[in-house]
């Protein structure tokens, strides 16, 4: 058996091979797919960075000097650095490999995520991380403050109802159209769902028991970014949104497995799960077909658009948690926000 990636548990001499395999499987099943993908990207990046900067592979555990160099290289704008600056030269190599976009100082959140991944790799190997050393932690805090900037919006435009209607108008009669209509309506009308939440849905997560009588479709999310398994309440789709989802299930002949799937050029529904990145392509394509400007909206616009439509700003609530207190005693099917799409 090959050595597992650093984002998986290291082999332990105290475990049998079957127990080691079971532990690895547990880590994979217990780690969100988005996190595993981020681990893979971050591992590729830090490996390439060290090779470019020092000409050697990663060490386990990594040295504090390397950790400090990583922070320093990513805490300044290298476009102002001299051509012979080793940090700039390393960054240019990463740009050539397609791993870095520019010489500009990366966003603090990007640096934080890569460091968090690197730290996690050490934990999975039962090793002490250099990023836990006092001087390194202090340098990281200083870098975060020095590079502080206003957070950029995840979507240039919220997809409010009028924008959503423009996107939906491009969905006509093909299976692809039916799928995209269901995705857009579910993503918006169920409270603004994230891409991974939409593509993670299984047929078994949908209940159509009340559809014929009440035009209600109930959805069970396994977990979300802010909730864990068993804590996520059921979501409801009503009216048009419920009809769009039920229609997709019918025309897509979805009887089990992933709820949303790729559709071939021949308009044939495939069996595999739709990827989260595909949601971005769907929003981009529908916006283009609707005649909206390039980059007008992203999948996060479904979330921000729903919340905007729900008048969160006008209510002057400072957080979703604060607003939620006012709805704790209201059955979700009676919540007026579920009728925003009509």
pLDDT of residue 30: 79
- The reply to whether domains 17-146 and 161-339 share a CATH topology is no
Cα dist from 202 to 215, 235, 240, 271, whole Å: 20, 14, 21, 12
- Looking at 169-275, list the stretches that DSSP marks H as alpha helix, in order from N- to C-terminal side: 175-189, 195-199, 211-214, 239-251
Domain ranges for the chain, please list them.
17-146, 161-339
**273 φ, ψ to 5°?**
-75, 145
pLDDT band at 147 (very low <50, low <70, confident <90, very high): confident
DSSP state of 270: -
Could you tell me how far CA 132 lies from the centroid of its own chain? 27
User: Which residue, among 12, 2, 25, 28, has the nearest Cα to 125 in the 3D structure?
Assistant: 12
pLDDT of residue 156: 61
Q: Which residue has the tokens 């989260």?
A: 276
**CATH architecture under which domain 161-339 falls:** Orthogonal Bundle (1.10)
Could you tell me how far CA 89 lies from the centroid of its own chain? 31
Question: Residues 261, 188, 304, 312: what is their CA dihedral angle, to the nearest 10 degrees?
Answer: -160
pLDDT of residue 190: 84
* CA atoms of 244 and 99, how far apart (whole Å): 40
235: left (phi over 0), alpha (psi -120 to 50) or beta: beta
336: left (phi over 0), alpha (psi -120 to 50) or beta: alpha
* 8 A C-beta contact, residue 7 and residue 36: yes
- Name all contacts of 166-172 with Cβ < 8 Å and 24+ positions apart: 166/290, 166/291, 166/292, 167/283, 167/286, 167/287, 167/290, 169/290, 170/286, 170/289, 170/290, 171/286
pLDDT of residue 25: 85
Could you tell me how far CA 116 lies from the centroid of its own chain? 16
- The C-alpha angle with vertex 45 and arms to 228 and 37, in degrees rounded to 5, equals 30
* 8 A C-beta contact, residue 141 and residue 133: no
Per-residue pLDDT tens for 256-269? 999 999 999 999 99
Which CATH number fits the domain 17-146, given the four candidates 1.10.3720.10, 1.20.120.550, 3.30.420.40, 1.10.150.130? 1.10.150.130
Could you tell me how far CA 131 lies from the centroid of its own chain? 25
Per-residue pLDDT tens for 90-144? 999 999 999 999 999 988 889 999 999 999 999 888 899 999 999 999 998 998 8
* 8 A C-beta contact, residue 239 and residue 336: no
Q: Report the SS3 class of residue 305.
A: helix
pLDDT band at 2 (very low <50, low <70, confident <90, very high): very low
- Evaluate if pTM is beyond 0.75: no
pLDDT band at 29 (very low <50, low <70, confident <90, very high): confident
């Amino acid at each position: 058996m090959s050595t597992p990636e650093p984002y998986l548990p290291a082999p332990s001499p105290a475990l049998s091979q079957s127990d080691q395999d079971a532990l690895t499987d547990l880590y994979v099943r217990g780690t969100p797919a988005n996190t595993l993908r981020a681990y893979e990207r971050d591992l590729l990046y830090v490996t390439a960075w060290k090779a470019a900067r020092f000409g050697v592979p990663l060490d386990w555990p990594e040295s504090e000097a390397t950790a400090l160099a990583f922070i320093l290289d990513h805490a300044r704008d290298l476009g102002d650095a001299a051509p012979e600056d080793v940090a700039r030269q390393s960054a240019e190599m990463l740009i050539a490999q397609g791993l870095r976009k520019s010489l500009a100082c990366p966003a603090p959140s990007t640096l934080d995520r890569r460091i968090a991944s690197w730290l996690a790799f050490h934990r999975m190997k039962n090793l002490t991380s250099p990023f836990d050393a006092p001087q390194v932690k202090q340098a990281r805090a200083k870098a975060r403050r020095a590079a502080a900037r206003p957070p950029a919006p995840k979507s240039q435009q919220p997809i409010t109802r009028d924008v959503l209607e423009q996107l939906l108008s491009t969905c006509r009669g093909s299976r692809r159209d039916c799928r995209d209509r269901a995705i857009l309506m579910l993503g918006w009308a169920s409270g603004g769902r994230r891409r991974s939440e939409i593509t993670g849905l299984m047929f078994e997560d949908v209940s159509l028991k009340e559809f014929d009588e009440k035009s209600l479709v109930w959805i069970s999310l396994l977990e979300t970014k802010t909730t864990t398994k068993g804590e996520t309440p059921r979501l409801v789709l009503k009216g048009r949104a419920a009809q769009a989802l039920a229609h997709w299930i019918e025309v897509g002949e979805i009887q089990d497995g992933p709820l949303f799937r790729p559709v071939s050029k021949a308009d044939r529904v495939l069996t595999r799960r739709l990827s989260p990145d595909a949601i971005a392509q769907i929003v981009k394509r529908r916006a283009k077909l609707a005649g909206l400007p390039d980059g007008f909206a992203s999948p996060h616009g479904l979330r921000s658009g729903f919340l905007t439509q729900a008048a969160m700003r006008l209510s002057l609530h400072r957080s979703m948690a604060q607003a939620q207190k006012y709805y704790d005693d209201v059955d979700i099917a009676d919540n007026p926000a579920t009728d925003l799409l009509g």
